[in-house]
C-alpha cells in the first residue's frame, strides 16, 4: 500500500471511526491526540462523532500517523496499522 492514502474515498462516518480507531490504537486520550495534531480536544471530539471534517493539514498528519503505525518495528503495532489501512483504504481493483 502506498504512503499517501486517498482520504477522499473515506465517508464522513468512516472518517470519525478511522480517527477514533487510530487514536485508541496509539493509546492516546482525545486530549493527547489533539495536542499531537495541534488541534483542540473539542475538535477531535467533533471529528470522531461526525460533526466536523479534518482540515487538509490534519488529514496529512493523520496519513503520516497511519503510515508510521503500519511500518512500526513493533510487530503488533504494525499489524494494527496495516489492519486500519485495509479496513479504510482497501486496494482498488481494476475493471475489466
- Reading the chain (96 residues) residue by residue, the pLDDT tens digits are 333 444 555 655 689 999 999 999 999 999 999 999 999 999 999 999 999 999 999 999 998 999 999 999 999 999 999 999 888 877 765 555
Q: How many structural domains is the chain composed of?
A: 1
Give SS3 for 90.
Answer: coil
Domain membership flag for residue 22: yes
Instruction: Look up the CATH number of the domain holding residue 14.
Output: 1.10.260.40
Query: Can you tell me which residue has the cell 477531535?
Result: 44
Q: What are phi and psi of 92, to 5 degrees?
A: -80, 140
Q: What is the distance between the alpha carbons of residues 87 and 96, in angstroms, rounded to a whole number?
A: 24
Cα distances (Å, whole numbers) of residue 21 to 1, 85, 86 = 19, 11, 13
78: containing domain: 10-88
CA atoms within a 13 Å half-sphere pointing along the CA-CB vector of 13: 0
pTM of the complete model: 0.79
Amino acid at each position: 500500500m502506498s504512503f499517501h492514502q486517498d482520504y477522499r474515498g473515506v465517508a464522513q462516518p468512516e472518517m470519525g471511526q478511522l480517527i477514533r480507531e487510530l487514536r485508541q490504537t496509539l493509546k492516546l486520550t482525545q486530549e493527547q491526540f489533539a495536542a499531537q495534531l495541534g488541534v483542540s480536544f473539542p475538535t477531535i471530539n467533533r471529528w470522531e462523532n461526525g460533526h466536523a471534517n479534518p482540515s487538509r493539514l490534519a488529514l496529512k498528519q493523520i496519513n503520516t500517523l497511519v503510515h508510521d503505525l503500519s511500518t512500526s518495528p513493533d510487530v503488533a503495532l504494525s499489524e494494527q496499522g496495516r489492519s486500519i489501512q485495509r479496513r479504510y483504504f482497501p486496494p482498488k481493483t481494476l475493471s475489466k
